[in-house]
Structure 1
Amino acid sequence: MTAARPLPQLGSIYLDARGAERALRVSWHHDSGLVVLSLWRDNVCAGSFRLAVDEVPDLIDMLRAGLDLAYDAAVDHGPDTAPVYEIS
């Protein structure tokens, strides 16, 4: 496992809902044609996934579809009811 390195010019960190010691780091590596998704715990990389730049639009489409479903379910059920999600 490797210690944290500075993010490249384009990147971001997202904290896990379970606690700040866990995070997802997303970094663009244009020179390699990759986006790297890495999982961090206590400032140590626990695992990574290299996604080819040409696959990013499919990932974005899937995330957008999930967001649309979550929003629609929240509107249909109201704020006091937990929505049920289906993955297709």
Structure 2
Amino acid sequence: MALQRPTRTGMVFPDLRGDGRSLRATWHQEQQVVVLSLWRNNVCVSTFRLAADEVPDLIALLRLGLDEAYDAARERIERIERPSQAG
């Protein structure tokens, strides 16, 4: 399943394991919640309701993890590209 473009209210993320698994994230403005739901093919198997005022904390966590992953990748590349100091 290919990643879908975000809409105004939600987005679907395919699971790396395949087998019809996906995560759907949808905004529900009227209730001020984000619903994260786990799907297997076209069947919802679980949901989680996150209050809108907690979304910034989730975003901060995801951003921190992504920043750390980029920093680690950058350090690996620099070690590979750095000329040897032997001599």
Shorter chain as denominator, the TM-score bin is 0.7 to 0.9
Higher relative CO (Cα under 8 Å, sequence separation at least 6) belongs to 1
Q: In percent, how many aligned pairs have the same letter? A: 56
Over 6 Å off, 4+ runs: none
Q: TM-score, normalised by structure 1?
A: 0.76
Larger Rg: 2
Q: In the TM superposition, what whole-angstrom CA distance separates every residue of 1:37-88 from its partner, at most 9, and x where no partner exists?
A: 000011111101000000000000000000000111111123xxxxxxxxxx
Provide the TM-score with structure 2 as the length reference: 0.76
2 CA distance for matches of 1:9 and 1:76? 37
Q: Which residue of 2 aligns with 1:85?
A: none
Residues 1:48 and 2:47 are matched in the alignment: yes
Alignment coverage as a number of residue pairs: 71
Q: Gaps (5+ residues) in structure 2?
A: 1-6, 78-87
Unaligned regions of 5+ residues in structure 1, if any?
Answer: 1-7, 79-88
